[in-house]
Amino acid sequence: MAKPRKKILIVNCYFPELREAIRRRNEVPDALAPVLLGGYFSTEHCEVRLYNEVNSGFIEVFEPGLLGWPDLLVMTGLTATFDRLLHITAYAKTANPKVIVAAGGHAVRCLPHYAERFLDYTCTGDVEQIREVIRDALGPEYLASEFKPRYDLAYWIRLLGYAESTRNCNFKCSFCSLTGVGLKYAPQGKGYLEAQMEAMGKRAIFFFNDNQAMGDSQDAFRERLACVQRRREAGQFRYWAGFVTDTFFWDEDNIRLARDTGCLSLFVGVEAFDNSMWLKSVNKKQNSRMNQVELISKCLEAGIIFQYGLVYDPTVQTLDEMYAQLDLVCDHPEIPAPNFIFMAIPFPGTPFFHDRLAKGQILPNTRVRDLEGSTLSLKPVDALEDVVHFVRNGRNFRGYRKRFLAHQARFLWHYRKHLGRDQMLLSTLTAAAILVPGYFSSPGAALVRKRPRTNVSSTEMLDPVYTPRLPVAAAYRSWFEPTFVTDAGGQLNPALEDDALAMRYKRPGERMKLAAPA
């Protein structure tokens, strides 16, 4: 007998920084995982739908009918979205008690043991682990005979062609969530990259969605880039872009190669301009070899936009040091505007988390939801109210607007002979995005009434979606309570102890646990 078709819903979970129900239509980079996950399901035996909460908003608000539709619900998301996995699971299992739920990504890797209480399958490995779920939950005939990413279903991806050629990172910065996960840097085969490029079709920009595009060797990276260049010469792409580290710029040949193969921009984790002691303390020693301003100038003079973020650790960095970084940007026309300024985040499992927890520096009643860059979750060395003022204003250059706009004009003039029209436009958009981040990535946010935020984890409001919008069975009502990292005394939540202790040490990266259905 012919096997019945199964309905598969893959959701990228998300919590907006504004803590309101908004859609971020212009987010870059955007979710690739659902596209890759969908490629492992048989098109003959499965009907697959993708939903991205970044672009489309909370699923129960904007597409409530989807929640009772699937036979198998697959979810992924960043660390702070852990509670969204529980919300969506509660809705889905209420609407269809027979639905099977699997989840992975950083939200699960962060708390794998705790997640087993709520999910049928918890996956801590890479996207290929969905094959085990398909075989076990549905049967081997529901597994695709050939991997083909579902860009055709990724309605949120338009101009950019996201693809991954490597995974994880070869550096172990102590504050990075990748370090907490413990997975090794893993270059992927050429066939895997080719399958993605073939499936995505023509795009304006090919984007290496790797955490570190050149973490193995120059030769390996050049081989991957040659695959992209062949397709670029055939007209599939105009530019390419990606994530690299300082090490990319240690060899002038890499910069020349990037320029000659149509590199539009490179994103580098600068984190701090003038605090080498902090960089060393968080094991980001690769940023101490070259002067960051010289490195940035070298990249831009080659005709490549340099993009970066700044990270402030309020437990050791003073407000004077934070504001000095803004002054440095505004005073140097050779430095572009940063893409973001975040407060350091104590991701569970990272050495940074364990160090700050041992020192009592994680604020009381910090929730997993708070582990994102706009919420202060660490005890600062300066007065709390003054640091909160910086979080609300300084990280978007409020109070610096006139200087910042003058700086942007000087920046464009300084590199007028090196950057083309598209690079100039990208730089201007980056500057606009940090000045008005919510409105730029989500124009509709201007129409949403904002509730007051404290920007402090101990007192920050919860998103309205923590109150169920749809019917929820009694067994799942408690799943809308936030997951706490610390208690009222600043101690680790006992429910997370198994994960916290396990992640002090190397954790297996291919762990998949079948839990007893709730």
Reply yes or no on whether the pLDDT at 22 is more than 80: yes
Band of residue 518 on the pLDDT scale cut at 50, 70, 90: very low
Whether the model clears a pTM of 0.75, i.e. scores above it, the answer is yes
pLDDT of residue 509: 47
Between 195 and 269, whose confidence is greater? 195
For residue 23, the Cα-to-chain-centroid distance in whole angstroms is 16
Reply yes or no on whether the pLDDT at 422 is more than 90: yes
Q: Beta strands 186-187 and 166-167: pairing type?
A: antiparallel
Band of residue 21 on the pLDDT scale cut at 50, 70, 90: confident
Tell whether 199 is covered by a domain: no
Reply yes or no on whether the pLDDT at 53 is more than 50: yes
Reply yes or no on whether the pLDDT at 370 is more than 60: yes
pLDDT of residue 264: 96
pLDDT of residue 504: 52
Band of residue 438 on the pLDDT scale cut at 50, 70, 90: low
Instruction: Answer whether 261's CB lies under 8 Å from 233's CB.
Output: no
- The values of phi and psi at residue 500, to 5°, are -65, -40
Instruction: Answer whether 104's CB lies under 8 Å from 110's CB.
Output: no
**Residue 439 host element (H or E):** helix 437-441
Reply yes or no on whether the pLDDT at 276 is more than 70: no
Please tell me the least confidently modeled range out of 94-108, 114-128, 165-179, 322-336: 165-179
Between 391 and 513, whose confidence is greater? 391
pLDDT of residue 496: 95
Tell whether 384 is covered by a domain: no
Tell whether 353 is covered by a domain: no
Reply yes or no on whether the pLDDT at 469 is more than 60: yes
- The values of phi and psi at residue 187, to 5°, are -65, 140
Tell whether 239 is covered by a domain: no
Question: DSSP characters for 186-202?
Answer: EEPPHHHHHHHHHHH-S
Rounded to the nearest 10°, the torsion over CA 240, 242, 247, 250 is 20
Tell whether 113 is covered by a domain: yes
pLDDT of residue 493: 96
Band of residue 34 on the pLDDT scale cut at 50, 70, 90: very high
Residue with tokens 């309205």: 464
Reply yes or no on whether the pLDDT at 81 is more than 50: yes
Tell whether 493 is covered by a domain: no
pLDDT of residue 279: 80
Domain residues for 89? 6-148+499-514
Question: DSSP characters for 440-505?
Answer: HH-GGGGGSPPPP---BTTTPPPPGGGS-SS---GGGGGGGSPPBSB-TTSPBPGGGHHHHHHTTS
pLDDT of residue 508: 43
**Across 100-108, average pLDDT:** 96
Interatomic CA distance for residues 79 and 370, integer angstroms: 10
Interatomic CA distance for residues 164 and 178, integer angstroms: 16
Band of residue 277 on the pLDDT scale cut at 50, 70, 90: confident
Q: Give pLDDT tens digits for 302-349.
A: 999 999 999 999 999 999 999 999 999 999 999 999 999 999 999 998
By C-alpha distance, which of 164, 401, 440, 423 is closest to 306?
Answer: 423
Band of residue 278 on the pLDDT scale cut at 50, 70, 90: confident
pLDDT of residue 494: 95
pLDDT of residue 505: 45
pLDDT of residue 156: 95
pLDDT of residue 86: 98
Q: Give pLDDT tens digits for 483-510.
A: 999 999 999 999 999 887 765 544 444 5
Number of domains, the chain: 1
Interatomic CA distance for residues 200 and 405, integer angstroms: 37
Tell whether 104 is covered by a domain: yes
DSSP 8-state code for residue 346: -
Reply yes or no on whether the pLDDT at 412 is more than 80: yes
> At 74, which CATH number?
3.40.50.280
Tell whether 109 is covered by a domain: yes
Per the DSSP assignment, residues forming a β-bridge with 74 are 10, 102
pLDDT averaged over every residue in the chain: 91
Question: DSSP characters for 271-307?
Answer: E-SS-HHHHHHTT-GGGGSS-HHHHHHHHHHTT-EEE
pLDDT of residue 60: 97
- The CA-atom distances, in angstroms, between 433 and each of 26, 28, 132 are 10, 11, 40
Reply yes or no on whether the pLDDT at 257 is more than 80: yes
Q: Give pLDDT tens digits for 472-489.
A: 999 999 999 999 999 999
Burial class (CB in 10 A: 0-12, 13-18, 19+), 299: buried
pLDDT of residue 127: 94
Between 136 and 215, whose confidence is greater? 136
pLDDT of residue 512: 57
**Across 185-206, average pLDDT:** 95
pLDDT above 70 coverage of the chain, percent: 94
**Across 369-395, average pLDDT:** 96
**Across 273-286, average pLDDT:** 77
Band of residue 293 on the pLDDT scale cut at 50, 70, 90: confident
**Across 181-190, average pLDDT:** 89
**Across 350-373, average pLDDT:** 96
Q: Beta strands 121-123 and 186-187: pairing type?
A: unpaired
pLDDT of residue 263: 96
